[in-house]
């Protein structure tokens, strides 16, 4: 099992995830610092999607937009969908049906001072996963500033326990 690890130095870590529902999708994102503190978190409804790759690509784009809007410019971005992370990490043009979304992500990333994309296991992405699933009960997005989002508190406590013993 892989566990979440805090970023080093002055970097921030942005974890994102998506969930699919019968009538839409959910997006979860959380930004934490080296001290494991939640800087900002998001849970939001998304569009109806064709498959999990589309949901995850849209979640990645939304998470980057969210991070930029919140003023973050030095990020380690982590998600648990290998296809999405591979696509956004590539410098080659993407001609797939999701190519426009991947191009958007690339443009957003290009505007950051520092960014790296990492593919992680779901066990290391449980906070974002919880927030994505919470979106099923939402009509509007919810943002938490410098506060532990209640739908993800168990996952946050687990991450802290694993890191600090």
Rounded Cα distance, 82 and 22, in Å: 23
1: in domain: no
Low-confidence ranges of the chain (pLDDT < 70): 165
pLDDT for 161 equals 86
CATH number of 96's domain: 3.30.420.10
7: in domain: no
pLDDT for 105 equals 98
pTM, to two decimals: 0.96
5: in domain: no
2: in domain: no
Structural domains counted in the chain: 1
Q: Which domain holds residue 94?
A: 12-164
83: in domain: yes
Rounded Cα distance, 113 and 75, in Å: 8
Reported as a single tens digit per residue, the pLDDT across 103-114 is 999 999 999 999
pLDDT for 128 equals 98
Strand 142-145, strand 38-46: pairing: antiparallel
117: in domain: yes
Reported as a single tens digit per residue, the pLDDT across 33-65 is 999 999 999 999 999 999 999 999 999 999 999
Q: Alpha carbon of 6 to those of 76, 151, 157, 159: distances in Å?
A: 10, 20, 14, 9
């Amino acid at each position: 099992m892989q566990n979440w690890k805090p970023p080093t130095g002055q970097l921030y870590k942005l974890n994102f995830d998506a969930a699919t529902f019968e009538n839409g999708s959910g997006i979860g994102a959380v930004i934490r610092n080296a001290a494991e503190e939640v800087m900002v978190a998001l849970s939001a409804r998304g569009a109806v999607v064709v498959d999990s790759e589309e949901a995850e690509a849209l979640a990645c784009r939304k998470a980057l937009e969210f991070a930029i809007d919140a003023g973050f410019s030095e990020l380690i971005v982590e998600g648990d969908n290998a296809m999405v992370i591979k696509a956004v990490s590539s410098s080659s043009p993407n001609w797939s049906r999701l190519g426009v979304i991947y191009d958007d992500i690339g443009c957003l990333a290009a505007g950051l001072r520092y960014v790296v994309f990492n593919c992680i296991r779901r066990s290391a992405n449980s906070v974002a996963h919880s927030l994505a699933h919470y979106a099923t009960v939402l009509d509007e997005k919810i943002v938490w500033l410098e506060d532990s989002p209640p739908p993800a508190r168990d996952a946050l406590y687990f991450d802290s326990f694993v890191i600090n013993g």
